[in-house]
Amino acid sequence: MPLHLNTQLSREGPIAMVDDSVATLKLVAIYHKKSNLNGSFLTFLSGNTFFEYLENVKKGTAEVTELLLLDINMPGMDGFEVHEKLRSEPLFKNIPVCAMLTSSDHEKDKQKAFSMGVREYLIKPDTGKDYLDMFNNLKNRMLKN
C-alpha cells in the first residue's frame, strides 16, 4: 500500500528549518517556541541532513513537515537545490508550503524562488520580536492560500 501524506496545513504540524548557522537555528527555535504555533520545530544544518530525515518520514518513523524554511546561501546544497530536490520526490512534491528565510534581498534570488514555486520569500528578521511576529503571521497567511 503506497504511503500518503496529509498535506493540509494546521497549526499543529512540525516546521522545519534548514540553515548552516547553528546560532540562527537556535535563535529561530527560541522564537518559534514563544509563538502561537503548537507543532515542533525541527532544525537541520544542511540539505543532506534534511533529506535523511525525510527517509524516516517515508518509513513512517517521522512526521512530515508542513512548513519548510530554507536559507539560500549554504555550502554544499543551497536552498534552491533543497527545494528542487524536494519537489522532485514524488512523495513530497505536494507539500503545500515552502518558504525562503534568508539574508539575501537580491531581486534575482526572489524571482528565482517564486519561479520555482516557493510560496513565501522572507528576509531574516533583525530582532527577536520580528521573528515572533513572523511565526505568528506566516502560518496564518499560508492557511489562507
* 71, 18 contact by CB (below 8 A): yes
Compute the mean pLDDT over every residue in the chain, rounded to the nearest whole number: 84
Query: Minimum mean pLDDT among 4-8, 33-37, 113-117: which range?
Result: 4-8
Strand spans (E) along the chain? 15-18, 41-44, 67-70, 99-102, 120-123
| pTM (predicted TM-score) | 0.86
Torsion sign, CA atoms 23, 26, 32, 35: negative
Q: pLDDT at position 17, please? A: 94
CA angle 67/6/15 to nearest 5° reads: 20
pLDDT band at 139 (very low <50, low <70, confident <90, very high): low
Sheet holding 67-70, edge to edge: 41-44, 15-18, 67-70, 99-102, 120-123
Of 83 and 136, more confident: 83
Q: pLDDT at position 3, please? A: 41
Domains and CATH numbers, the chain: 17-144 (3.40.50.2300)
